[in-house]
């Protein structure tokens, strides 16, 4: 996971492993006067408190998921994990078909991630480096829709899906998920800053077609950006709630649909509900644990330009 | 949009100056091939539904028979204005929005300031505060619903130890709205802190040096250098969080699992009201009208924000 910085480096650049675009107008960065703020004990204490507050609900999920419902009704409640984790997992698999939900979520999130990264890299490249009529207008429309709430389109989308006979089928969640205005914008910004025009011109002089340039030059350079976009997309797709509960039912659920079913009064055993919550959260926690730094970097990078 | 590639020109004409006409034509058309996959989907699943919602909102459309549309004009909208639950959900959206957005952004600002210090384990701390962002609305809400339980919840137990409570986090209006807001605050504070941190790092060091030379304390540096420098970032987060608050849906739905947002609709938001009308009562036309009201609300919020920013920067320019 993330290794803590153990040596004192003057202002270590807070950047992910991805080679972020070099900021141009920040020559004063290396100078240290005026901002050599070392954290004091108070700062550490507050931050540790914040970390505990962030992590506690996860820990509590584990505690509650590994106990029995009777344990949870005890006063004072026990703060340590109990012995019932496996039994509760089995109950969830039986009652909410979490197994199928996990598989469905994996299929949905995986396809959305692959599709989004591909579509957005292609479009992002065109917007960053190719000249064509309507480029500015199309980009403006794309970015403009980022402000519009997804609920605004949900009703017609549902009518379309119903018309096509896709209700309760996974493609009804996958296809609309491939539309990511943010992704196009993100890849465009990434490529504008990391891909030098000279490289493309040189390749053209050598006779490379645009397709060749895309696969042999753009994709290798864009790969770190694509990875970050992929991570963010996977997490968003895995955690998406509103559209899946509209388009799918409990017979073909994603994890979130199954969780809603668990929490919606079908199951009254709190420890079983928590076991389901734990199962539904584990995959994305795993991704986060392995690649948290990249995610942090991606968010910070996207934010500066947002 | 041409998707089929013309035959590749022979290698001999590789120099750009001696390009064949077929190749030149392809070169002009090919950018469209790169944006085609995205825009095909975007047109079908992004832009078309957005526009079509306005059309649907003028009709009577029922969930079971979405093909039968009966003209209602502004009837869906006037029905909304006469529905007490609409006004109730509008009010709740506002109060829950304030209860969640304000603490979230203030705490994020403080956290970002601390995370910007030089310290051990900085990367770890930055990643750890983002952890809640990795959970889903559903998972987070279910855990908090457990923690906020009236009889056996850990929070009421803890409050009992210090002599408060027990609080009825589900049925009391203010308490239930605080419970819903807590889930939002927990999930998004770290995320916003990282956005502020990114903003802080783009403030030029020269400004801090100058302030330090003028004898400004850390505290004054924060107020007179950091905060003004962060203004665009703060505006950005305010807008994004407000848009998020306008659409709040999963948290109130799952606090106890009913689509009415509590027994007396005490924490039903606009998003949940939309879902109740559309998928609970089958009135898709009415739901579309609610969606448009949500959109107008966002336009107003963004507009007001833009105005404030505009006026403030003009004032500063005049100084």
pLDDT digits (tens, 9 = 90+) for B49-82: 989 999 999 999 998 888 888 899 899 999 999 9
Evaluate whether B71 touches A171 at the Cβ level (below 8 Å).
Answer: no
Q: What residues of chain B lie within 8 A of the CB of A242, using their CB?
A: 249-250, 271, 275
Per-chain mean pLDDT for chain B: 88
pLDDT for B78 equals 95
Q: Kindly indicate the confidence band of residue B175, based on its pLDDT and cuts at 50, 70 and 90.
A: very high
pLDDT at residue A106 tops 50: yes
Query: Searching chain B, which residue's CA lies closest to the CA of residue A22?
Result: B202
- pLDDT-derived band at A266, boundaries 50, 70, 90: low
Least confident window among B80-84, B101-105, B144-148, B309-313: B309-313
CA dist., res. A175 & res. A172, Å (int) = 6
Check pLDDT > 70 for residue A12: no
Put simply, the chain A residues between 121 and 180 with a CB less than 8 A from any chain B CB are 122-123, 125-127, 130-132, 135, 138, 141-142, 145, 147-160, 162-163, 175-176, 178-179
Q: Residue B12: its pLDDT value, please? A: 42
- Summary mean pLDDT of chain A: 84
Q: Worst-scoring range by mean pLDDT, A30-39, B78-87, B170-179?
A: A30-39
Residue B155 pLDDT: 92
Are B169 and B148 within 8 A, CB to CB? yes
> Å from B269 to nearest chain A CA?
13
Please report the pLDDT score of residue A76 as a whole number.
Answer: 77
Average pLDDT over residues A135-162: 89
Strand, coil or helix: what is B257?
coil
Q: What is the mean pLDDT of residues B253-262?
A: 90
* A69-101 pLDDT, tens digit each: 888 877 777 889 989 999 999 988 888 788 899
d(CA A31, CA A28): 5
Query: Shortest CB distance from B118 goes to which of A38, A75, A300?
Result: A38
Which residue out of B15, B31, B55 would a mutagenesis test of the A interface target, given it has the greatest number of A Cβ atoms within 10 Å?
B31
Check whether A33 has a pLDDT greater than 80. no
Cβ within 8 Å, pair A6-B120? yes
B296 touches chain A (CB under 8 A): no
Backbone angles phi, psi at B310, to 5 degrees: -55, -50
> Between chain A and chain B, how many beta carbons pairs sit less than 8 Å apart?
349
Residue A29's pLDDT is what?
36
pLDDT tens for each residue of B266-283:
999 999 999 999 999 999
Is the pLDDT score of A204 beyond 80? yes
Residue A107 in this model has a pLDDT that exceeds 90: yes
Condensed to tens digits (0 to 9), the pLDDT of residues B301-319 reads 888 888 887 887 777 666 5
The pLDDT of A31-51, averaged and rounded, is 76
- Domains of chain B, start order: 83-286 (1.10.3720.10)
Q: Are A299 and B191 in contact (CB under 8 A)?
A: yes
- Give the length of chain A: 306
Q: Which residue has the higher pLDDT, B151 or A200?
A: A200
**Which of A152, A161, A269 should we substitute to test contact with B (largest number of B Cβ atoms within 10 Å)?**
A152
Residue ranges of A 256-285 with Cβ closer than 8 A to chain B: 256, 259-260, 262-265, 270, 273-274, 277, 280-281, 284-285
Confidence band, pLDDT 50/70/90 cuts, at residue A261 = confident
Instruction: Give the gap in angstroms from C-alpha A277 to the nearest C-alpha of chain B.
Output: 5
Compute the average pLDDT of residues A254-281.
87
Out of B142, B194, B253, closest to residue A273 by CB: B142
Task: List the end-to-end C-alpha distance of chain B, in Å, as a whole number.
Answer: 53
> Residue B85's pLDDT is what?
96
In chain A, what is the straight-line distance between the N-terminal and C-terminal CA atoms, in Å? 28
Of the candidates B262, B317, B313, the residue with the CA atom closest to the CA atom of residue B85? B262
- Per-residue model confidence (pLDDT) at position B252: 95
A14: its two tokens = 């807070």
Cα angle vertex A188, ends A185, A192, to 5°? 140
Strand B65-71 and strand B59-62: the pairing is antiparallel
Inform me whether the C-beta atom of residue B202 falls under 8 Å from chain A C-beta atoms.
Answer: yes
**Closest chain B C-alpha to A34 CA, distance in angstroms:** 4
Choose the mutation target among A137, A144, A149, A202 for the interface with B, i.e. most B CBs under 10 Å: A149
Say if B117 is an interface residue toward chain A (CB within 8 Å): yes
């Amino acid at each position: 996971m993330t290794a803590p910085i153990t040596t004192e480096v003057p202002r270590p650049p807070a950047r992910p492993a991805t080679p972020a675009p070099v900021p141009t107008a920040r020559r004063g960065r290396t100078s240290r006067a005026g901002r050599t703020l070392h954290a004091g004990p108070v700062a550490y204490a507050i931050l540790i408190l914040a970390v505990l507050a962030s992590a506690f609900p996860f820990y509590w999920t584990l505690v509650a998921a590994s106990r029995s419902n009777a344990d949870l009704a005890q006063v004072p409640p026990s703060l340590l994990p109990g012995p019932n984790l496996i039994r509760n997992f089995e109950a969830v698999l039986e009652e909410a078909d979490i197994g199928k939900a996990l598989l469905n979520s994996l299929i949905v999130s995986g396809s959305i991630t692959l599709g989004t990264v591909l579509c957005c890299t292609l479009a992002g490249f065109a917007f960053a480096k190719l000249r064509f009529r309507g480029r500015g207008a199309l980009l403006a429309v794309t970015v403009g829709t980022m402000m519009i709430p997804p609920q605004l389109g949900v009703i017609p989308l549902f009518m379309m899906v119903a018309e096509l006979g896709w209700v309760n089928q996974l493609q009804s969640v996958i296809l609309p998920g491939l539309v990511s205005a943010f992704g196009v914008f993100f890849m465009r910004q990434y490529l504008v800053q990391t891909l030098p025009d000279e490289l493309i011109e040189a390749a053209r002089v050598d006779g490379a077609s645009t397709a060749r340039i895309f696969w042999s030059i753009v994709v290798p350079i864009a790969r770190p950006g694509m990875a970050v976009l992929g991570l963010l997309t996977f997490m968003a797709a895995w955690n998406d709630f509103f559209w899946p509960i509209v388009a799918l039912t409990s017979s073909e659920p994603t994890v979130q649909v199954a969780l809603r079913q668990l929490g919606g009064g079908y199951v009254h055993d709190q420890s079983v509900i928590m076991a389901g919550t734990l199962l539904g959260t584990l995959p994305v926690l795993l991704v986060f644990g392995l690649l948290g730094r990249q995610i942090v970097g991606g968010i910070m990078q996207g934010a500066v330009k947002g | 949009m041409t998707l089929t590639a013309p035959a590749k020109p022979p290698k001999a004409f590789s120099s750009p100056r001696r390009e064949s006409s077929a190749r030149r034509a392809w070169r002009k058309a090919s950018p469209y091939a790169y944006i085609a996959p995205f825009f095909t989907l975007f047109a079908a699943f992004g832009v078309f539904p957005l526009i079509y919602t306005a059309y649907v909102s003028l009709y009577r459309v029922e969930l079971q028979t979405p093909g039968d549309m009966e003209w209602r004009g502004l009837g869906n909208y006037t029905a909304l204005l006469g529905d007490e639950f609409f006004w109730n959900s509008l009010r709740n959206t506002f109060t829950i929005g304030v209860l969640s957005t304000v603490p979230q952004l203030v705490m994020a600002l403080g956290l970002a300031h601390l995370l910007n210090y030089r310290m051990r384990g900085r990367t770890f701390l930055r990643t750890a505060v983002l952890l809640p962002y990795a959970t889903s609305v559903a998972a987070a809400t279910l855990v908090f619903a457990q923690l906020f339980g009236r009889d056996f919840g850990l929070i009421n137990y803890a409050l009992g130890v210090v002599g408060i409570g027990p609080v009825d986090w589900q049925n009391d209006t203010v308490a239930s709205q605080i419970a819903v807001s807590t889930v939002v605050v927990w999930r998004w504070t770290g995320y916003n802190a990282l956005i502020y941190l990114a903003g802080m790092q783009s403030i030029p060091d020269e400004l801090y040096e100058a302030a330090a030379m003028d004898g400004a304390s850390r505290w004054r540096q924060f107020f007179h250098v950091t905060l003004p420098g962060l203004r665009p970032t703060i505006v950005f987060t305010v807008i994004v969080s407000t848009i998020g608050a306008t659409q709040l849906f999963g948290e109130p739905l799952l606090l106890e699992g009913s689509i009415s947002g509590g027994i007396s609709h005490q924490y039903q938001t606009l998003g949940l009201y939309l879902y109740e009308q559309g998928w609970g009562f089958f009135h898709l036309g009415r739901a579309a009208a609610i969606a448009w009201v949500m959109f107008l609300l966002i336009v107003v919020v963004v507009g007001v924000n833009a105005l404030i920013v505009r006026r403030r920067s003009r004032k500063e320019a005049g100084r």
